Amino acid sequence: MKFLRNLMATVAVFSVTVVPAFAHTSIVSSNIEDGSQIETAPASFDFSFGADIGLAGLDLETLDGEPVKVAFERPREMGKSFSVPLPMLEPGTYVLKWRAVAKDGHVMKGEVDFTITG
């Protein structure tokens, strides 16, 4: 009986600590793929997540870490799909850095590196 009680307690702890981790997501599709080489930059960065998130931030930098101004406005609502206008980009390598918040408050972040070949 003690074994069964210990087993059930272990399963309960495991399900509470592991299941929330599965709820977090990342970009599942975008018009700029990580590592891509593009002739000309698109007018916007269009991307989708596997679950609703709050998009907290999006920054664009050159490969050297120089910031590039992006007209990003934090959406008021959670969502799965977003579109952020991009400025005219010269040939070079860029890094898009995004930050998002899951419904449970967990902060997620990621990067999309790409090169404009011009």
pLDDT digits (tens, 9 = 90+) for 105-115: 999 999 999 99
Q: With contact defined as beta carbons under 8 Å apart, do 45 and 36 qualify?
A: no
Whether residue 39 has pLDDT greater than 80: yes
Q: Measured between alpha carbons, how far is residue 30 from residues 7, 26, 44 in Å?
A: 43, 11, 10
pLDDT digits (tens, 9 = 90+) for 67-87: 999 999 999 999 999 999 999
| CATH code, 25-116 | 2.60.40.1220
Q: Residue length, the chain?
A: 118
pTM: predicted TM-score of the whole model, two decimal places: 0.77
Domain boundaries, the chain: 25-116
In percent, the amount of the chain with pLDDT more than 70 equals 80
**Calpha distance 60→109 (Å, rounded):** 13
Two tokens, residue 109: 């972040």
pLDDT digits (tens, 9 = 90+) for 8-24: 444 444 444 444 444 56
* Virtual torsion, Cα 44, 42, 89, 118, nearest 10 deg: 170
The pLDDT value given to residue 24: 67
